Amino acid sequence: MQLTPLGRKADLTLGRGEECDVVLPGVETSRQHARLRRDGPIWILQDLGSTNGVFVDGERVSEAPLEIGSVLRVGEWVGVLESAADAKDLESPREIRPGLIAGPGLAPALASVRRAAKTELSIILEGETGTGKEHIANALHAFSARTGAFVAVNCAALPESLAEAELFGYRRGAFTGASRESAGYFRAAHSGTLFLDEVIELPLPIQAKLLRAIEQREVTPLGETRPVPVDVRLVVAAQEPLPAAVEAGRFRRDLYARLDGVTIDLPPLRQRRSDAAAIFQAVLRAQSGGSPPKLDPKLVERVCTHEWPYNVRELVQTTRRLLALHGSEPRLGLEHLPARMQHRSAPRAVPRAPAQKLATSRRERRANELFGRLASALQANKGNVSKACASVGISRQQAYRVLEKRNFDLDALRFPEDPDDRSDA
């Protein structure tokens, strides 16, 4: 999926004819198929009486307002509406690192990665399962000046009785079964980067020893009495916010305070629709030796609109399955997808606080996600609306409408209460 800038023109025609503003080839595309017009900050898509219709998010429409992230199908062309404060800042999805496809949906996180890589701060990665946290951690290491190895550890897979030995190493005979010496993950990552995935799953006693290793920059292998110096850049990941785990008593408060250098949130794939198409096509090319089969536009549209509850991991597995079972077909279509994907899935229910009503409609769900992204951007930019809007890709007017509906207190971010100014009650 390539970037097609719409420019500043407020009225565009799309079709097969050379006179169109955006020429879309294909036998299913009418000469003048559709019209895109701008009404203030909103783009509106209109069918110009085409033979095969115009579709937004999988539904045929005669005319429909578009939102950032809307999936459009016009003839044989499928696209996703994206935005940026400056067109030059909006790149087509591409492979940044092996296995890491980044497009507009991941651009804010990737920008944070590049900035953070130049520092020695610890990094916290937050995101749902399958969002590519290990790929991002590897990119952090690659973009840094560190010369040692990148070492990834799944803390949830460490046996509780062996977690200390696996992390910090051990001497031969240090415990039953220790028939050889082991340097441990910390020393394996010396001068490099240690990525601790699912760090919340570490037992609390091990968390205390992890804190000491970070603060003292040394580890003491089991069976040794002398500590060994280590120089390690630490990146940790969790599927839930670490502060919530701290409040629940599952994660040490002092360890969180020590790790809290830079927090990078990885958006789920359902918020990165153009990225979904790019990842799908990249895996197809890689798995087919560079000669992927032709794709029905309806198939690409479904890849973009599917909820992908398990994110990139699920998309990659689905694509591999598609090729393994149907790769010999001259053209892949909806009928080749798993049965659960051949019909549009209901919007995924996102857990909310008990006092809030669960969002069930597609529009309400996307409004909730937009508010969440905007609130996070405002917090990161200390209430600066212009910077937050540029990060999220919406206009100031749209931002104020979203905030007004939620009674969001901007002043609380711009002018935080000074504890010294509070009167004693």
- Dump pLDDT digits (tens) for 142-156: 999 999 999 999 999
284 and 261 co-located in one domain: no
Residue with more model confidence, 125 or 367: 125
DSSP 253: H
Give me the pLDDT at residue 419, please: 42
Report whether pLDDT(307) > 70: yes
167 and 205 co-located in one domain: yes
- Dump pLDDT digits (tens) for 66-102: 988 899 999 999 998 876 543 444 555 566 777 787 7
Give me the pLDDT at residue 7, please: 57
> Does any domain span residue 125?
yes
Helix or strand run (H / E) with residue 287: helix 273-287
295 and 234 co-located in one domain: no
Average pLDDT in the 382-388 region?
A: 80
Residue 158 near residue 197, CB atoms below 8 Å = no
HSE-CB at 366 with a 13 A cutoff on CA atoms is: 17
Report whether pLDDT(290) > 80: no
E-strand ranges in 104-209 read 123-126, 150-154, 192-197
24 and 115 co-located in one domain: no
Number of domains in the chain: 4
- Dump pLDDT digits (tens) for 391-410: 777 777 777 778 877 777 67
Q: Which of 283, 312, 341 finishes a domain?
A: 341
> Does any domain span residue 368?
yes
Report whether pLDDT(254) > 90: yes
46 and 73 co-located in one domain: yes
Phi, psi of 72 (to 5 degrees): -110, 135
Q: Which of 265, 299, 333 finishes a domain?
A: 265
- Our CA angle for 65, 68, 71, nearest 5°, is 75
- Dump pLDDT digits (tens) for 232-241: 999 999 988 8
**Average pLDDT along the chain:** 83
259 and 283 co-located in one domain: no
Give me the pLDDT at residue 88, please: 46
Average pLDDT in the 173-183 region?
A: 75
196 and 325 co-located in one domain: no
Average pLDDT in the 32-39 region?
A: 92
Report whether pLDDT(257) > 80: yes
Q: What is the domain-level CATH number for residue 148?
A: 3.40.50.300
241 and 334 co-located in one domain: no
Report whether pLDDT(181) > 50: yes
286 and 187 co-located in one domain: no
306 and 246 co-located in one domain: no
Residue with more model confidence, 191 or 422: 191
DSSP 170: B
> Does any domain span residue 308?
yes
Give me the pLDDT at residue 6, please: 61
Q: What is the domain-level CATH number for residue 30?
A: 2.60.200.20
| Rounded alpha-carbon distances, angstroms, from residue 422 to 94, 414, 415, 416, 418 | 51, 17, 14, 12, 7
> Does any domain span residue 162?
yes
Average pLDDT in the 184-199 region?
A: 96
Report whether pLDDT(45) > 60: yes
Give me the pLDDT at residue 119, please: 94
Give me the pLDDT at residue 253, please: 96
Average pLDDT in the 7-35 region?
A: 90
Q: How confident is the model at residue 228 (pLDDT cuts 50, 70, 90)?
A: very high
Average pLDDT in the 220-226 region?
A: 85
Report whether pLDDT(242) > 80: yes
In this structure, of 44-48, 101-105, 133-137, 358-362, the range with the lowest mean pLDDT score is 358-362
Give me the pLDDT at residue 376, please: 78
Average pLDDT in the 248-262 region?
A: 95
Q: How confident is the model at residue 57 (pLDDT cuts 50, 70, 90)?
A: very high
Q: How confident is the model at residue 246 (pLDDT cuts 50, 70, 90)?
A: very high
Give me the pLDDT at residue 86, please: 38
Average pLDDT in the 40-55 region?
A: 92
> Does any domain span residue 196?
yes
Report whether pLDDT(310) > 70: yes
> Does any domain span residue 419?
no
- AA letter at 183: A
Average pLDDT in the 9-19 region?
A: 91
Average pLDDT in the 360-364 region?
A: 52
Q: Which residues contact 160 (CB under 8 A, 6 or more apart)?
A: 203
> Does any domain span residue 310?
yes
Give me the pLDDT at residue 404, please: 76
Q: Which of 265, 294, 318 finishes a domain?
A: 265
Percent of the chain residues past pLDDT 90, beyond the cut: 51
Give 386-419 as a DSSP string: HHHHHHHT--HHHHHHHHHHTT--SHHHHSPPPG
Average pLDDT in the 190-212 region?
A: 96
> Does any domain span residue 281?
yes
277 and 259 co-located in one domain: no
51 and 70 co-located in one domain: yes
Residues spanned by the domain of 67: 11-80
Give me the pLDDT at residue 335, please: 94
